[in-house]
Amino acid sequence: MRIGIDVGGTNTDAVLLDGRQVLAAVKTGTTADVTSGIVAAIAGLQEQRAFEPADVRAVMIGTTHFINALVEARRLAPTAALRLSLPAGASLPPMVDWPGRLIEAVSGRSYLVHGGHEFDGRHIAELDEAEVRRAAADMGAAGVRSVAITSVFSPVNAEFETRAAEIVAAELPDAAISLSSEIGRIGLLERENATIVNAALRELAAHIVDGLASSVSGAGITAPLYLSQNDGTLMDVDFARRYPVATFASGPTNSMRGAAVLSGLDICAVVDVGGTTSDVGVLRHGFPREATTDVTVAGIRTNFRMPDVLSIGIGGGSLVREARKVREAREVTVGPDSVGYELTSRALVFGGDTLTATDIAVAAGRAEIGDPSLVAHLDKELVAAALRRVADDVADVVERMRTSAEPLPVVAVGGGSILLPDELAGAGEVRRPDHYAVANAIGAAIAQIGGEVDRVYAVEPGRRDAVVDAAKQEAVDRAVAAGASPSTVQIVDFDEVPIPYLPGNATRIRAKAVGELQLTDAKGR
């Protein structure tokens, strides 16, 4: 058995799974300390379906806690960015394009020292160890508790980052150190930004991960704990402590992965209707299609791999307003503003005074929430017009996400998906699998272990196939090293882009392999 838990901004969802069969599913409120919400969720599972804690082989948690902390600029550690690049890069120092309030929130300091590599592995300059030591001493005097180290072309050669980390650790034994080569890809500013964000979240990550671990062990569960990453694969708690940024997009990813499992579809569009927004993504080979452009998080440009998600402001808490009458037909707007977590006090069905999308769904007989008699008076025409508006807007987003003329099945998940019709214009039937409201927790529970290679290779004539095979093999090896069962590992994503103006047929090759988590217990199962 496995337990999957999704800690969202509003709800904490949990599921108990045997293989892919859902044994129990609960929804509870997220608590400020995160951990008591998880304790309550596990207790809820136990109540629904009694289980022996010793039979749980793994617990997977997906959380939006870290991205929310960044967006809200709270609980960020005093952070320094150390860049190894001189004589290059001085005109655009670390955090050059950051919003001022976030630089303040991380008490951001930046240091540039000599070092870095060329594209072909030569040194731009030798690493100046004395400079690094001086910088570290200054950081210590300024009260810095977390350090982000970025070296030019470290995705090609990380030796300087590793050496600088040793020096900083010797000077500041208590500081957390994050290396850019382990976080991002080519594109110095974006990779450095992601590393600084990671560094700023390290203290919070240690605190939260410890809390998660203790709440799980408090329930008597001794199985290993994993956190889900942006790409839908898992990391262990030690990795999560060091790389909190890797959780940033796990929310939408888990919903989509859960939808794939619940519906049995490998290729589909997933519409996740929450309280405020509907997020639409596309699954290919069971994994979310990734965004191809740089992603801006809280005003900071980064190059994380994020799922390609298009959101519109339609959710269960969306405000419904009558705009105007055009001839006979009613014109109604739904969203983009929402009552959010106040749904249970402000919606009509809960005795409130605000007409929300949830009230419309209840009035239309699509759901039984709150007190249906409180919406019995609603004009049928108004209800129909609001549902039409939701269907049209969502159908338009699904259509925009489609990438081929092939039919693309649509799977609806999330608590608010009761708003969607059974058919969408241009897309056909909407599948609403069982347990749709906890798809994200299921997505966490079924997550796999991955390995990735993303590097620039010099491809000699006639050697392309050998280079490609080597890259794929390395991705597979990494997945196995991370804990995947070797017989289940396969390549799920492969991309090859020649780089213009570089000599030697330089080609950027990216390969991603995933496999099932190797679960071992005393019986070796």
Partner 1 sequence: MREITLADLDDIATGAAILGTGGGGDPHIGRLLAASAVREHGPVRLCALEELPAGAALVQVAMMGAPTVMVEKLPSVEQVSAAAGALAGYLGSGLTHIACAEAGGVNSLIPVVAAAQLGLPLVDADGMGRAFPEIQMVLPTLYGVRATPMAIADEKGNRAVLDTVDNRWAERLARSATIDMGCSAMISSYAMTGAQARESLVPGTLTLCAELGRLVRQARAAHADPVAAVVARLGGGTLFTGKVTDVERRTVTGFARGTATLAGLDGDAGGELVLRFQNEYLVAEVDGRVRATVPDLICTLDRETGEAVTTEALRYGQRVTVIAAPADPRWHTPEGLALAGPRYFGYDLDPVGAPR
Is residue 92 a contact residue for partner 1 (CB under 8 A)?
Answer: yes
Decide whether 269 or 439 has the Cβ nearer to partner 1.
269
Should residue 462 be labelled a site residue for partner 1 when binding is judged by CB under 8 A?
Answer: no
- Nearest alpha carbon to residue 156 among 129, 124, 133: 124
Question: Is residue 88 near partner 1 by the rule CB under 8 A?
Answer: yes
Looking at the Cβ atoms of 324 and 523, the one nearer to partner 1 is 324
Separation of alpha carbons 262 and 38, rounded Å: 23
Residue 311: strand, helix, or coil: strand
Among 195, 358, 440, 507, binds partner 1 (CB under 8 A): 507
Strand partners, 7: 12, 63
Q: Per-residue x/- marks for partner 1, 122-141, CB under 8 A? A: x-xx----------------
Please report which helix (H) or strand (E) contains residue 216, including its range: helix 188-218
* C-alpha–C-alpha distance, residues 81 and 149, integer Å: 6
Applying CB under 8 A, does 498 fall inside the site for partner 1?
Answer: yes
CB 363, min distance to partner 1, A: 31
Annotate each residue in 385-414 with x if it binds partner 1 (CB under 8 A) or - if it does not, as one string: ---------------x-xxxx---------
DSSP assignment of 250-274: HHHHHHHHHHHHHHT-SSEEEEEE-
Is residue 460 a contact residue for partner 1 (CB under 8 A)? no
Smallest separation, CB 48 to partner 1 (Å)? 41
Question: Is the Cβ of residue 120 or residue 474 nearer to partner 1 in the bound state?
Answer: 120
CB of 282 vs partner 1, minimal distance in Å: 8
Helix 35-48 vs helix 188-218: crossing angle, to nearest 10: 50
Pairing state between β 234-236 and 225-228: antiparallel
Q: Mark residues 255-294: x for contact with partner 1 by CB under 8 A, - for none.
A: ---------------------------x------x--xx-
Per CB under 8 A, does 380 bind partner 1? no
Q: Is position 500 an interface residue for partner 1 (rule: CB under 8 A)?
A: yes
How many Å apart are CA 314 and CA 337, to the nearest integer? 8
The answer to whether 399 touches 410, Cβ cutoff 8 Å, is no
339-368 residues in contact with partner 1 (CB under 8 A) are: none
Q: How far apart are CA 165 and CA 307, in angstroms?
A: 31
Alpha carbons 4 and 504: distance in angstroms, whole number: 47
Nearer to partner 1, 163 or 464 (CB): 464
Interacting residue with partner 1 among 236, 467, 506, 516 (CB under 8 A): 506
Q: State the helix-helix crossing angle for 159-171 and 129-141, rounded to 10 degrees.
A: 40
Find the angle CA(330)-CA(334)-CA(339) to the nearest 5 degrees.
140
> From the CB of 303, what's the least distance to partner 1, in Å?
10
Footprint on residues 141-180 left by partner 1 (CB under 8 A): 152-153
Strand partners, 63: 7
Work out the number of other CB atoms within 10 angstroms of the CB of residue 211: 15
Q: Binding to partner 1 (CB under 8 A): which residues in 177-206?
A: 186-189
Residue 409 main-chain phi, psi, to 5 deg: -65, 150
Regarding 116 and contact with partner 1 (CB under 8 A), the answer is yes
By CB under 8 A, is residue 458 in contact with partner 1? Answer: no
| Residue number with CB closer to partner 1 (55 or 118) | 118
Is there binding between residue 97 and partner 1 (CB under 8 A)?
Answer: yes
The SS3 assignment for 184 reads: coil
- Catalog residues that contact partner 1 under the rule CB under 8 A: 85, 87-92, 96-97, 116, 118-120, 122, 124-125, 152-153, 186-189, 282, 289, 292-293, 400, 402-405, 456, 459, 496-503, 505-508
